[in-house]
């Protein structure tokens, strides 16, 4: 009898974590490595948020919290959804988890039966299909393309819905592509969903505040109020507030679903870290002006990276609307050889040889379900990004 669970055979390790670790290992050996694999802002958490955490410690806010979150944070979450997304949720309709991952996992765990299908569009964040598989569901992939900006169309969605479909996962702006949906594009998706009342929507809005230019952000329950009763709107403080290590994600949705997720979390981790929750209260309720400043920095980095990558031979890099990733194609380099004679047969070969030759760590697109592409996180200094892109240009020029 096997000791480890059968479910583990359906799950792969996180490619983004693996690349980041490989870069760390090479650095430890003395290699000059620029790591652009991790999806983490390089800004520090703002001082007012850190001070709120210190104040919470000094007040003795160090005990267990209610499973679904401290009342003050649930009230702040409800106020945020009203203020920024025109969505009316009571605090009881909200839940706080240890990062967005836990929110998503608990939503799937609370709703998934064997054979239930979850629609995930390629390219996808690496954890979506693995979570679905761990919870006994079946990931079903909807196709997108570089030509359509890596966005799901209504026609493609219609094609993959079946009687077994339970959820559509909608991530805007997207990790890994940075694609963000306009109001009209969300309307097209909503119109299809209205024809299929058994399909719920899990919208991952983690990068909501990181959109560029004059892009106006919408979430799907805001665009189509008729979807309100079957939408879980997930968000968190990790990206916009530079709070990745604080591990606070949150969501709002129908009370029945929130109660089920609360019950699972009560048997799993109980409440998230009390200090991190108080910091998140300050993040949501406190000054927001630094977000615009950070966005301006990110936009400058995005423009630099897109420009330099498009000057690299054989690379095609679209300009994303949001997040802090680009998802360029290296299709024109497949079949080329390195100076040492190694043939680039896949995007995984491309990123592996790039790391070996130039010390630049990026993530291969096939890990996100769509290649031959690769993902670069531009949450790094302009100097580092410029050097990395120069190395990529040199590497692509060396291929024959």
Claim to verify: residue 106 and residue 183 sit in the same structural domain: yes
Q: How much is the average pLDDT of 201-207?
A: 98
Q: Is residue 55 part of a domain?
A: no
Claim to verify: residue 364 and residue 233 sit in the same structural domain: no
Q: How much is the average pLDDT of 22-49?
A: 90
Claim to verify: residue 261 and residue 359 sit in the same structural domain: no
Number of domains composing the chain: 2
Q: Is residue 54 part of a domain?
A: no
Report CA dihedral (353, 355, 361, 367) to the nearest 10 degrees: 30
Judged against a pLDDT cut of 80, whether residue 224 lies above it is answered with yes
Q: Is residue 49 part of a domain?
A: no
What is the C-alpha to C-alpha distance for residues 233 and 225, in angstroms, rounded to an integer?
13
Q: How much is the average pLDDT of 84-92?
A: 98
Claim to verify: residue 95 and residue 37 sit in the same structural domain: no
Percent of the chain with pLDDT over 70: 100
Q: How much is the average pLDDT of 334-356?
A: 95
Claim to verify: residue 275 and residue 148 sit in the same structural domain: yes
DSSP string, 179-223: ----HHHHHHHHHHHHT-TT-EEEEE-TTTT-B-TT-----HHHH
pLDDT digits over 297-325, tens only? Answer: 999 999 999 999 999 999 999 999 999 99
Decide which of 230, 261, 285 is a domain's last residue. 285
pLDDT at site 5: 87
Q: Is residue 281 part of a domain?
A: yes
- pLDDT band, very low/low/confident/very high, at 24 (cuts 50, 70, 90): confident
Element (H, E) at 347: helix 347-358
pLDDT at site 2: 86
For residue 137, the enclosing domain spans: 61-285
Claim to verify: residue 142 and residue 162 sit in the same structural domain: yes
Claim to verify: residue 168 and residue 107 sit in the same structural domain: yes
Judged against a pLDDT cut of 90, whether residue 20 lies above it is answered with no
- Domain harbouring 385, CATH code: 3.90.1150.10
| pTM, 2 dp | 0.95
Claim to verify: residue 259 and residue 389 sit in the same structural domain: no
Q: What residues contact residue 383 under an 8 Å CB cut-off, 6+ apart?
A: none
Claim to verify: residue 40 and residue 124 sit in the same structural domain: no
pLDDT at site 385: 98
Decide which of 225, 253, 285 is a domain's last residue. 285
Claim to verify: residue 31 and residue 87 sit in the same structural domain: no
What is the C-alpha to C-alpha distance for residues 363 and 74, in angstroms, rounded to an integer?
36
Claim to verify: residue 116 and residue 40 sit in the same structural domain: no
Q: Is residue 234 part of a domain?
A: yes
Instruction: Pick the closest to residue 187 from 153, 213, 232, 145 (CA basis).
Output: 153
pLDDT digits over 248-302, tens only? Answer: 999 999 999 999 999 999 999 999 999 999 999 999 999 999 999 999 999 999 9
pLDDT digits over 100-159, tens only? Answer: 999 999 999 999 999 999 999 999 999 999 999 999 999 999 999 999 999 999 999 999
Instruction: Measure Cα distances from 190 to 116, 155, 179, 224 in Å.
Output: 21, 12, 18, 6
| Residue 214: half-sphere exposure toward Cβ, Cα within 13 Å | 0
pLDDT at site 207: 98
Decide which of 268, 285, 302 is a domain's last residue. 285
């Amino acid at each position: 009898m096997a000791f480890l669970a059968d479910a583990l055979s359906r799950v792969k390790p996180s490619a983004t974590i693996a690349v980041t670790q490989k870069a760390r290992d090479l650095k430890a050996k003395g290699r000059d490595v620029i790591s652009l694999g991790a999806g983490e802002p390089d800004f520090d958490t703002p001082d007012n948020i850190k001070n709120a955490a210190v104040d919470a410690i000094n007040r003795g806010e160090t005990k267990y919290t209610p499973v679904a979150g401290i009342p003050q944070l649930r009230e702040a979450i409800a106020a945020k959804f009203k203020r920024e997304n025109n969505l009316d949720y009571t605090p009881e309709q909200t839940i706080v988890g240890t990062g967005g991952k836990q929110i998503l996992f608990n939503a799937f765990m609370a709703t998934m039966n064997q054979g239930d299908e979850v629609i995930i569009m390629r390219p996808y964040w690496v954890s979506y299909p693995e979570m679905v598989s761990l919870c006994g569901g079946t990931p079903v992939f909807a196709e997108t393309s570089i030509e359509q900006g890596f966005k799901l169309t209504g026609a493609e969605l219609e094609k993959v819905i079946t009687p077994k479909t339970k959820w559509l996962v909608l991530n805007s702006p997207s990790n890994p592509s940075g694609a963000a949906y306009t109001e009209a594009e969300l309307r097209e998706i909503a119109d299809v969903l209205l024809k299929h009342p058994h399909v719920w929507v899990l919208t991952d809005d983690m990068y909501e505040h990181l959109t560029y230019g004059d892009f106006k952000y919408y979430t799907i329950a805001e665009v189509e109020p008729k979807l309100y009763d079957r939408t879980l709107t997930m968000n968190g403080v990790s990206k916009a507030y530079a709070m990745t290590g604080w591990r606070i994600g949150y969501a709002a949705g129908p009370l029945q679903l929130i109660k089920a997720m609360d019950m699972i979390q009560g048997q799993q981790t109980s409440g998230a870290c009390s200090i991190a929750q108080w910091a998140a209260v300050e993040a949501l309720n406190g000054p927001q002006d630094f977000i615009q400043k950070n966005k301006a920095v990110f936009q400058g980095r995005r423009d630099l990276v897109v420009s330099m990558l498009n000057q690299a031979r054989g690379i095609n890099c679209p300009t994303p609307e949001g997040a802090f990733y680009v998802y360029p194609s290296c299709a024109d380099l497949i079949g080329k050889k390195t100076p040492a004679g190694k043939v680039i047969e896949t995007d995984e070969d491309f990123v592996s040889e790039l790391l070996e030759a130039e010390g630049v760590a990026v993530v291969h697109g096939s890990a996100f379900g769509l290649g031959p592409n690769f993902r670069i996180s531009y949450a790094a200094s302009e100097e580092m990004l410029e050097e990395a892109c120069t190395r990529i240009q040199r590497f692509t020029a060396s291929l024959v």
